[in-house]
Structure 1
Amino acid sequence: MLKCSHIVCRVNNIADTVRDYELLGFSMEWGSISAKAHNALLWFEQGPHIEFCQMPKRFSYFAFPFGLIYGKAAGRRLRHWAGPGEGWRDLALEIQREFDSEPLSAENNHQELQLIKEAVNKLGISTSRIIRGKRVRPDGVTVQFSLFAPDDVGLPFVTTPILPRPQPKITHPNGATGIEWVRIGVTEELSHHLAKLIPQDQWLKAEPAEQNGVIEVRLSGLNEHLAINLLHGAVFSSTHDEK
Structure 2
Amino acid sequence: MKTRCSHVLVRVHDLHRAVDDYRRLGFQVDYATARERAQHAHVWFGDGPVIELLTTPANARWFKWPIDLIAGRGAGRRMIGWSARGEGFCDLAVVTDPGLFDATRETLCAAGIPIGRAVRWRRRRADGRETRFSFAYPRDPALPFLVSPYEPRQHPATISHANGAHRLTRVWLGAPVAWHHAIRRIIGDDPTIVLEAAPRSGVRAIELSGLTEPLDPGLLHGAEIRAAVGDNS
Question: What are the residue-to-residue correspondences of 1:88-167 with 2, within 5 Å?
Answer: 88-96=89-97, 109=99, 112-167=100-155
Q: Which has the larger displacement, 48-57 or 163-172?
A: 163-172
Q: Do the aligned partners of 1:175 and 1:221 also contact (CA within 8 Å) in 2?
A: yes
Aligned letter for 1:44?
Answer: F
2:58 matched to which residue of 1?
A: 57
Unaligned runs of 5+ in 1: 97-102, 104-108
Q: Which has the larger displacement, 60-69 or 188-197?
A: 60-69
Q: Could you tell me how far apart the structure 1 residues matched to 2:29 and 2:50 are?
A: 11
2:27 matched to which residue of 1?
A: 26
Q: Could you tell me how far apart the structure 1 residues matched to 2:184 and 2:230 are?
A: 31
1:70 matched to which residue of 2?
A: 71
Matched, 1:220 2:209: yes
Q: What is the CA-CA distance between 1:59 and the residue it aligns to?
A: 3.0
Secondary structure of the 1:229 match is helix
Q: What is the CA-CA distance between 1:241 and the residue it aligns to?
A: 10
Unaligned runs of 5+ in 2: none
Q: What is the CA-CA distance between 1:47 and the residue it aligns to?
A: 0.7
Question: What are the residue-to-residue correspondences of 1:79-90 with 2, within 5 Å?
Answer: 79-90=80-91
Q: What is the CA-CA distance between 1:207 and the residue it aligns to?
A: 0.8
Q: Could you tell me how far apart the structure 2 residues matched to 1:70 and 1:228 are?
A: 34
2:4 matched to which residue of 1?
A: 3
User: TM-score normalized by structure 1?
Assistant: 0.89
1:40 matched to which residue of 2?
A: 41
| CA RMSD after TM alignment | 1.8
Q: Could you tell me how far apart the structure 2 residues matched to 1:42 and 1:118 are?
A: 31
Q: Could you tell me how far apart the structure 2 residues matched to 1:150 and 1:187 are?
A: 17
1:171 matched to which residue of 2?
A: 160
Q: Do the aligned partners of 1:26 and 1:173 also contact (CA within 8 Å) in 2?
A: yes
Q: Could you tell me how far apart the structure 1 residues matched to 2:41 and 2:230 are?
A: 25
Q: What is the CA-CA distance between 1:84 and the residue it aligns to?
A: 4.7
Q: Could you tell me how far apart the structure 2 residues matched to 1:64 and 1:232 are?
A: 29
2:179 matched to which residue of 1?
A: 190
Deviations 1:60-114 (A, max 9, x none): 3111122134321222222223335100000000113xxxxxx5xxxxx4xx322
